[in-house]
Amino acid sequence: MNRDRIARKLVEVIGRKNVARLQSWVKYMITFKHIYRDGPMMSIGIKTVVFIIDGKTPHGGLSDRLRGLFSIYYYCKQKGYHFKIAWNYPFRLQDYLKPANENWIAEDWELASNRKMVSFRFFNSYSMMNNKEKDYFELLDFRKPIAHVYSNVTLHEELFPVLFNELFVPVETLQHAVERNISKIGGEFYSMSFRFIGLLGDFKDKDSRFNELDDEADKENYIEHCLNAIRNVYNAMSKKRKILVTTDSSLFLVRLDAIPYVYTIPGVVGHMDVDKNSYELHFKTFLDFIMISKAIKCYSYQYGKMYSATKFAKTAALIGGKEYEVMKE
């Protein structure tokens, strides 16, 4: 029985909130208890919540991280708390996205492991807190001056454009890259995203379920289905526009070169939880993400064993306020 099924069974027995409490307690006892120690009390005024990405636990990809971040920021807005971010793994978030209005970069004292000052909270997808605002807020509530929160819970997707723009502005190099690519496309465009994971043998992911296909003919079959999906979207356009294609497969990117109405962004392809020390890889991930948010309409395509749970393109579409559609075969 996998973890998802175990979590669902537990929810049936002890309830969703108790499962989330148990998850947070277990994570603290196993991974974090040895980190927090007693220290002197300090007066800080308004309570502060620090959203943390530090590599001490799996965080998922960019979409998972941003969804958790937006939900904690929304919580702070409702409560009137200070919101800070300590996103330092495997890169500093401020190297790609800088503060738009108030400075959200956590200071060292806000990250101090003083258990007299700090409450600990942990939630991931197995907590099943997505879109459960009341329950989630009750579990987040804390009495100490500071809370350290690890979470990928999703609340209020409809607010993503507002929350993103309140928090972030692309750094100059990223903004220039966005402007340069939009100029090269030469006008309005659509986007299509394809997540092969490891099926074509050119992408590494922590999830071992997605192994390389054994047969080269099977790989070609997947590629042809994806190419046909692109052709179908283009042929259905009443007014022809270019299609930005993003993918986790460098092999598939090469196959797109011969299609004149397809636009791809060159760069290193990988996953930020696996390929940790590549500025170019993470830059391309952010660039793909921002570019998708600029499209007229955004698609994700899924065929066979391709990854069906990806939210990368959907989250990008949401922050851009754009229409999003999943194409399945």
- Is the torsion defined by CA of 252, 254, 257, 263 positive or negative? positive
Q: Tell me, what's the pLDDT at 268?
A: 74
- Residues β-bridged to residue 122: 150
- Hey, how many other C-beta atoms are within 10 angstroms of the C-beta on 68? 25
Going from the C-alpha of 135 to that of each of 67, 79, 140, the distances in angstroms are: 17, 15, 9
Instruction: Give the whole-angstrom CA distance, residue 207 versus residue 306.
Output: 13
Q: Tell me, what's the pLDDT at 94?
A: 98
- Residues β-bridged to residue 168: 99
Contact 210, 305 (CB under 8 A): yes
Flag whether the pTM goes above 0.85. yes
Q: Tell me, what's the pLDDT at 136?
A: 97
Q: What is the pLDDT of residues 157-196, one digit of tens each?
A: 999 999 999 999 999 999 999 999 999 999 999 999 999 9
Q: Tell me, what's the pLDDT at 207?
A: 56
- What letter does residue 117 receive in the DSSP assignment? T
Query: What does the block give as tokens for 256?
Result: 């797109």
Looking at the domain covering 171-328, what would its CATH class be?
Answer: alpha beta
Going from the C-alpha of 74 to that of each of 92, 145, 160, 175, the distances in angstroms are: 22, 18, 10, 25
The boundaries of every CATH 3.40.50.11350 domain in the chain are 171-328
- Maximum CA extent, the chain: 67
- Residues β-bridged to residue 121: 149
Coil, strand, or helix at residue 246? Answer: strand
Instruction: Give the whole-angstrom CA distance, residue 12 versus residue 19.
Output: 10
The CA-to-CA distance between both ends of the chain, in Å, stands at 27
CA angle 200, 93, 134 (to 5 degrees): 90
Q: What is the pLDDT of residues 202-215, one digit of tens each?
A: 766 555 556 788 88
Burial call 277-302: b when 16+ CB within 10 Å, e when fewer: ebeebbbbbbbbbbbbbbbebbbbbb
| Residue whose pair of structure tokens reads 């007014």 in the numeric block | 239
Low-confidence ranges of the chain (pLDDT < 70): 1, 203-210, 270-277
- Hey, how many other C-beta atoms are within 10 angstroms of the C-beta on 38? 10
- Hey, how many other C-beta atoms are within 10 angstroms of the C-beta on 201? 15
Q: Tell me, what's the pLDDT at 12?
A: 86
